[in-house]
Structure 1
């Protein structure tokens, strides 16, 4: 057994990883990654917390591990490895070699985790499989699983997956299928593995200006000064009254007629982030957020599409413009950037990446994503649904719109940023 590092007296003991291979023979060869997959080659970790139930968790490792072997038969590219193809592009070699699975234990009760939105990445990082810093993402498994059993019988599932393989909805379909197998049920949605719909055209045609690819060259001094600080997680709630107030403020000058909660929260949070960074008036500020493409293509994406069916659109202007103009200015920018995302625009952007290889996520002031349409809290492996789900690894200036409870109209956001910036952000945001 090897022990993980300590953090505030929270200690997890991990087994040496075992490799879980697909339960039966799978296809070999090379698996294509689209341009949208290419620029998202980074590891995303999530942790799912399961309270003790009437069913004993003594066999939780075996049940989840066996179901993983079976679900990998359908999602076999995840059991392969990332390589660089002859054309310099990332591609998955479907070797069927499997994924690391770590059995972990702790003497703590599950209650020791508390509210995960108020946790820290030192603790969360112990609940997912992490490798020492490597020279290349090619050395990191496409998928790695850790199950941590707590003294009370509760457990935490930690999933570390390469974003080039899945977007949020696709990841949820994979985990739901895995959970269905664990309970002895048939898979509801089988993966559609052909990503050809997202291929660049043979003769690239860039038909639009693509501001989302703009690279900010000079980062605000407040970012570079905080490089050695720890990342913090905090949640903030926009109650119904505050949302209505912000919408009225956005519409009072008559520039926009209507405004959704997502749009006003995105616009307001971007402005607050820009103010918190104390940016110079002529510095460029950039908001980046994903838009789901599944229903925007004709024909729509096949059910169970396995890959990134999202596009990262962006808003770009000077910090002075954003912070001095009425809220309607930012709201209109967000609305316009969403309207831009048509099939024609996305195909132009895919071709833009083919020619220029610029990443829309390379530089941004705020990256915002919505988890509100993801069924994180419904994944039942046989011990009930998770009581909490949380991001397991940090990143700079992230904001997530969290799922809403049924009937609730408040909007909760989770933000991740360096400590000094978080302190300023808290002072500036008015909720």
Structure 2
């Protein structure tokens, strides 16, 4: 833990509305498991190695009349201590093995827990369902960390607002858990906070996903290929990004699917396939890529049920496998949208046990990580019920990433009545390119969110790829 002035209470100012939002952050504490846990070096498999990036998410909870005299921070902190008995690697520290892989040193070092107070009500913040500039102030950043090894795997901040509501933020490394595991982690945490037993204890052992000996690469893995940037560096983008939300209602989604199926090239299309193909095509066109430029789509498929045998129930870790599609900007933008959908469907179809084992072995031999030049990386929360996490104050009024983990990432989340609408959050390198994207999506009936216009964020050094 840092010491001296770095640990002292500090005030963080950020413009939201006049007057400023002021978040007073108290001294961080270490929360250790409530009971003794194994002291060991915890194995991280090759799927974990590939996505060792920091994730920052924020959950907002409304005040409740019956809870007005109860401080949420101690309740959540006490439950976290109990939770770490079951998820003890989250209380460890990342390290490097002799063969230069990430591992976790489990010695009950503890998760970092921070209490904070804000001078505003949640309702005064404006947009809270997407990353906005103030969101970063609700997530604790470990001081002076130069790389992910110096950042504890789990950092929590609970910020109480004047209205009695509060936010809970998680700053964790993706190598520790994917979205499905994160949801089970949060649901179990909420159960302990409400005084009930954990419904689904985690399966902690990840050794089922060890690479084969000797490793066998039996498929091409284009997700790791380097793509030449024919634009002279323009595709790399600058430090300033323009973010925007796009909303599709159930009727909008049906209209997009109907348009995709009109030419008869494919017979069916899922919501994910339609959204992914539509966004990939529109973004490529808006960025004015050279027609000969190769463009890659990268996304994760849940492999839990696709391994043979399937992964153990409630497997804790990363059970997702990256798959990809590659084409040229000309083919993608000039062919019907059904062409892009077919590429997405083919990328999903190739995921089976043989392919995933080959991917594990490919990393074992190469230590390669996915390259992101001319790449769109799609992530989805559409099937992740983060909105049902309950610490005793009811379901969150909003859940959101505090930032996208990389500039090439787009995120799908559910929203609206019955959570039947879909929100697309993405970044573009300029206002001009965002307007081009907006116009292209409008051709399919997609509207940008009226709740929040596009906003510009200049990348903070902590958001770069080394953390």
Specify the TM-score bucket, using the shorter chain as the normaliser: over 0.9
Counterpart in the other structure of 2:462: none
Alpha carbons 1:17, 1:102 under 8 Å: kept = yes
Distance in 1 (alpha carbons) for counterparts of 2:157 and 2:301: 30
Alpha carbons 1:399, 1:415 under 8 Å: kept = yes
SS in 1 for 2:82: helix
Q: Deviation per CA, 1:53-88: give whole Å up to 9, x if none.
A: 121264211111111111011111011101111111
Cα deviation for residue 118 of structure 1 reads 5.4
Find the partner of 2:168 among 157, 165, 175. Answer: 157
Distance in 2 (alpha carbons) for counterparts of 1:191 and 1:219: 46
1:2 aligns with 2:10: yes
Find the partner of 1:69 among 63, 81, 95. Answer: 81
Matches within 5 A, 1:31-430: 31-54=42-65, 55-56=67-68, 58-117=70-129, 120=132, 122-132=133-143, 134-218=145-229, 220=231, 221-224=233-236, 226-229=237-240, 231-360=241-370, 362-363=372-373, 365-394=375-404, 395-404=406-415, 409-420=420-431, 421-430=433-442
Distance in 1 (alpha carbons) for counterparts of 2:434 and 2:144: 26
Cα deviation for residue 399 of structure 1 reads 1.8
TM-score by length of 2: 0.87
Distance in 1 (alpha carbons) for counterparts of 2:197 and 2:358: 39
Cα deviation for residue 196 of structure 1 reads 1.5
Cα deviation for residue 177 of structure 1 reads 0.7
Distance in 1 (alpha carbons) for counterparts of 2:242 and 2:62: 25
Distance in 2 (alpha carbons) for counterparts of 1:389 and 1:364: 29
Alpha carbons 1:288, 1:361 under 8 Å: kept = no
Distance in 1 (alpha carbons) for counterparts of 2:235 and 2:63: 42
Cα deviation for residue 206 of structure 1 reads 1.0
Q: Deviation per CA, 1:120-174: give whole Å up to 9, x if none.
A: 1x21100111134632210011000000000110000010110000000100111
TM-score by length of 1: 0.94
Distance in 1 (alpha carbons) for counterparts of 2:198 and 2:82: 11
SS in 2 for 1:147: strand
Query: Structure 1 residues 253, 262: closer, same or farther in 2, change over 3 A?
Result: same
Query: Structure 1 residues 407, 389: closer, same or farther in 2, change over 3 A?
Result: closer
Q: Deviation per CA, 1:294-314: give whole Å up to 9, x if none.
A: 111222221211100001111
Query: Structure 1 residues 107, 406: closer, same or farther in 2, change over 3 A?
Result: closer
Distance in 2 (alpha carbons) for counterparts of 1:146 and 1:57: 20
Distance in 1 (alpha carbons) for counterparts of 2:228 and 2:288: 17
Cα deviation for residue 233 of structure 1 reads 3.5
Range 417-426 or range 312-321, more displaced:
417-426
Cα deviation for residue 364 of structure 1 reads 5.1
CA RMSD of aligned residues (A): 1.8
- Unaligned regions of 5+ residues in structure 2, if any? 1-8, 447-467
Cα deviation for residue 92 of structure 1 reads 0.5
- Unaligned regions of 5+ residues in structure 1, if any? none
Distance in 1 (alpha carbons) for counterparts of 2:377 and 2:371: 8
The alignment covers a number of residue pairs equal to: 428
Alpha carbons 1:398, 1:417 under 8 Å: kept = no
SS in 2 for 1:323: helix
